Each structure stands twice: as C-alpha cells, then as structure tokens.
C-alpha cells in the first residue's frame, strides 16, 4: 500500500508526463493582453455577432407588426420584413435614433400591450435589475407577442467609463429569469459557442478568422451568447 506522499508523487509524475506527451504550443496567444481590444471590429466582425445574427435570422418571422429594438433598428431593418412600425428605445436621451427614451427596467410612458415583438440584443448585462426589465418587457408586449433576447456568456467586460457592465448569463440563469415571468413553457433558451470561438472572441479576433464549421460547433460548457425566445401567453 503506497503511503499518501508516494501516491501524490506518482500523480504529480503522471501529470508531468501528460504535459510532456501532449504539449500545448500557445504561440502568438502567449501574451497577457488581447490581440485586439476592439472585440474584433478592427479585424472584421466580432465573433459573438455570428451567433446573434444567426439567432435573429432564424426567428425573422417573429419580427412583425410593431417592433421594439434598443439603440438602433439594426436587426429589424435587416430581417424584419413583416414589421409595420419600429420603435427604438434608449435610456440615453442623446441617441438621435431613439423614439422612446426610458430605462428598460421601468417604462411608465409605454402602455401595456404595445409591442408585437421586442428585440433586445446585448443590453440586459447593463441593467442591474434584470428581473424588472423582463417584467416590463412582458407587460408592454401584446398577448401572443414575442421577445427575442441575446445576452453575453463568455465575454470580456465593457470598460466602466463606457457603461457599468453588471452580468454574464448562463442557459440556467436565463431559464429561471424568463421562465419566472413568461412561464416555463413559453420560453426557449439556447447557448451558442465553443472553446475555440470563446478564446478567439476573448482575444478580439474576428469571426472571419474562424471557419463556419468551427463557429458552428456547439459546446454548452462554453456559451459565448445565450439566446431567449419568449412568447407572452394569449391570456396574459
Ligand atoms: C451595447 S448596446 C446594445 C444594443 C444593440 N441593439 C446591439 O445589439 O448592439 C447597449 C444599449 O443599451 C442602452 N442601455 C443601457 N442600459 C439601459 C437601460 N437601463 N435602459 C435602456 N437602455 C439601456 C445603452 O444606452 C446602449 O444604447
């Protein structure tokens, strides 16, 4: 029976053999600062946008009637053939595209049952009270209305001088957050990404530097983006 310390020594030896037989060549990634601090915008399109656009595109039929988007009507203009009216919300009154200046967590000027669809991409991490925003979105959706949300999972933090960045999300936290307001059966949550895409995204590489086959591998342990499609019950 080997003593505790000789067992430890054997395990340490095995680990060293593993490192020696399967060495990792970090190459140009052996650095403590990212390759780009622009999230990939200076090299192409950011990796997270691959998943965000794919999600919105695959749900494009939901962008119909009166649609709400935050900051600018990027995805509604691109994919919302069925949109008949577009509202742009921002808490920043200096945004010239904003038709509604309000905090998502409290929109007293917006009547209940206003929107057919709300497209809220990469915004909820900036709201400390995420639950209040989800309740407000539920309130302002028409019965049968649809909420399309994307939130960051594995992602660098936004500089505080740009905006306080409070949260990162998982599929489990989104299931609870949205399920508690819309009802569990009304909510579909998916995560997108894998370890290679996560490393590339953290380094600020662009999606053009990976292949579609690499980007499309889905490993739920490495979610770059979590997406939520929530439908307000007709009776609500
Ligand atoms: C990074 S942009 C994301 C929106 C854009 N649709 C996108 O996909 O990139 C974040 C926007 O959310 C706005 N914002 C941040 N906190 C907010 C809040 N509490 N209520 C409403 N808008 C907010 C910011 O002013 C900014 O215009």
Taking the centre of ligand 1 as the mean of its atom positions, its distance from the CA of residue 101, in whole angstroms, is 11
Query: Is a pLDDT exceeding 90 seen at residue 66?
Result: yes
As a whole number of angstroms, the longest Cα–Cα distance in the chain is: 77
Taking the centre of ligand 1 as the mean of its atom positions, its distance from the CA of residue 118, in whole angstroms, is 13
Quick one: pLDDT band at residue 2, thresholds 50, 70, 90? low
Token output for 8: 């430890």
Q: Which atom of ligand 1 is nearest to the CA of 52?
A: 8
Strands 187-192 and 141-152: unpaired
Taking the centre of ligand 1 as the mean of its atom positions, its distance from the CA of residue 3, in whole angstroms, is 59
Going by CA atoms, what residue is nearest to atom 26 of ligand 1?
A: 71
Taking the centre of ligand 1 as the mean of its atom positions, its distance from the CA of residue 8, in whole angstroms, is 52
Quick one: pLDDT band at residue 3, thresholds 50, 70, 90? low
Token output for 226: 């979590």
Mutual angle of helices 130-140 and 171-182, in 10-degree steps: 40
**How far apart are alpha carbons 115 and 137 in whole angstroms?**
9
Query: For the ranges 10-14, 137-141, 207-211, which has the lowest average pLDDT?
Result: 10-14
Q: Which atom of ligand 1 is nearest to the CA of 69?
A: 6
pTM: 0.94
Query: For the ranges 16-30, 170-184, 213-227, which has the lowest average pLDDT?
Result: 16-30
Token output for 23: 């060495």
* pLDDT at residue number 236: 72
Q: Hey, which of 50, 90, 128, 227 would you mutate to test ligand 1's pocket, going by the most ligand atoms within 8 Å of its Cβ?
A: 90
Query: Is a pLDDT exceeding 70 seen at residue 124?
Result: yes
Q: What is the pLDDT of residues 26-37, one digit of tens each?
A: 999 999 999 999
Q: Which atom of ligand 1 is nearest to the CA of 119?
A: 6
In terms of Cα–Cα distance, which of 48, 24, 27 is closest to 200? 48
CATH superfamily to which 31-231 belongs: Vaccinia Virus protein VP39 (3.40.50.150)
Query: Is a pLDDT exceeding 60 seen at residue 175?
Result: yes
User: Which protein residues touch ligand 1 with a CB less than 6 Å away?
Assistant: 69-71, 74, 89-92, 103-105, 121-123, 126-127
* pLDDT at residue number 48: 98
In terms of Cα–Cα distance, which of 228, 65, 209 is closest to 149? 228
Taking the centre of ligand 1 as the mean of its atom positions, its distance from the CA of residue 123, in whole angstroms, is 5
Domain range list for the chain: 31-231
Asked if residues 125 and 98 have their Cβ atoms less than 8 Å apart, the reply is no
Taking the centre of ligand 1 as the mean of its atom positions, its distance from the CA of residue 62, in whole angstroms, is 21
Going by CA atoms, what residue is nearest to atom 16 of ligand 1?
A: 126
Q: What is the pLDDT of residues 195-227, one digit of tens each?
A: 999 999 999 999 999 999 999 999 999 999 999
**How far apart are alpha carbons 32 and 110 in whole angstroms?**
46
* pLDDT at residue number 235: 83
Share the mean pLDDT of the chain: 96
Taking the centre of ligand 1 as the mean of its atom positions, its distance from the CA of residue 22, in whole angstroms, is 44
**How far apart are alpha carbons 103 and 108 in whole angstroms?**
9
* pLDDT at residue number 1: 54
């Amino acid at each position: 029976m080997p003593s505790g310390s000789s067992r430890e020594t054997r395990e340490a030896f095995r680990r060293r053999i593993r490192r020696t037989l399967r060495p990792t060549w970090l190459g140009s990634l052996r650095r403590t600062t990212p390759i780009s601090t622009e999230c990939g915008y200076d090299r192409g399109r950011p990796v997270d946008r691959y998943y965000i656009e794919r999600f919105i595109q695959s749900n494009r039929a939901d962008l119909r009637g009166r649609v709400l988007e935050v900051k600018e009507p990027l995805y509604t203009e691109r994919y919302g053939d069925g949109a008949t009216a577009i509202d742009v919300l921002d808490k920043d009154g200096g945004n010239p595209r904003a038709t509604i200046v309000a905090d998502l967590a409290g929109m007293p000027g917006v009547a209940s049952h206003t929107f057919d669809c709300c497209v809220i991409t990469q915004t909820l991490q900036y709201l400390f009270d995420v639950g209040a925003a989800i309740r407000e979105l539920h309130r302002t959706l028409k019965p049968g209305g649809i909420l399309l949300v994307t939130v960051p999972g594995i992602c660098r933090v936004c500089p505080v001088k740009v905006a306080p960045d409070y949260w990162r999300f998982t599929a489990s936290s989104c299931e609870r957050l949205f399920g508690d307001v819309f009802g569990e059966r009304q909510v579909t949550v998916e995560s997108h990404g894998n370890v290679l895409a996560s490393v590339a995204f953290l380094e600020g590489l662009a999606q053009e530097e990976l292949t579609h086959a690499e980007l499309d591998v889905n490993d739920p342990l490495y979610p770059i983006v979590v997406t939520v499609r929530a439908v307000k019950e007709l009776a609500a």
